[in-house]
């Protein structure tokens, strides 16, 4: 049985593993290869820790950070597939299911707003 997502370290593992996939994915890696990952990954992990384990402190506006990227529906679909694949590879349980549910909601919201 795989562990559930219960700590900030779990969120970091999820995001680091997810970004390893994003960076080698020919369809969407161009959105990520220019990022300073030492700065970016902790911010993304903070976002997911806020959502999944109620870690306080995340105050960035995720939508505005992505507004200028010119994302297409196929980009969202690929992002969602890779995120959910990563969650399922590493974790299972209530918080893992919540991560998948929230990723779907985020993708739908971002598609509608962007």
User: What pTM was estimated for this model as a whole?
Assistant: 0.89
The answer to whether 19 touches 37, Cβ cutoff 8 Å, is yes
pLDDT in tens, 5-30: 999 999 999 999 999 999 999 999 99
Domain ranges (residues) in the chain:
8-113
Tens-digit pLDDT profile for residues 64-79: 565 556 778 898 899 9
Query: CATH code for 8-113?
Result: 1.10.490.10
d(CA 70, CA 66): 8
């Amino acid at each position: 049985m795989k562990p559930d997502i219960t700590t900030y370290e779990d969120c970091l593992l999820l995001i680091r593993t997810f970004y390893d996939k994003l960076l080698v994915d020919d369809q969407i890696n161009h959105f990520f290869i220019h990022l300073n990952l030492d700065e970016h990954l902790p911010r993304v992990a903070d976002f997911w820790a806020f959502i999944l384990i109620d870690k306080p402190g995340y105050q960035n506006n995720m939508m505005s950070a992505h507004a200028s990227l010119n994302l297409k529906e196929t980009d969202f679909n690929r992002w969602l597939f890779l995120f959910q694949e990563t969650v399922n590879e590493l974790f299972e349980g209530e918080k893992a299911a919540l991560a998948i549910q929230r990723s779907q909601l985020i993708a739908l919201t971002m598609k509608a707003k962007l």
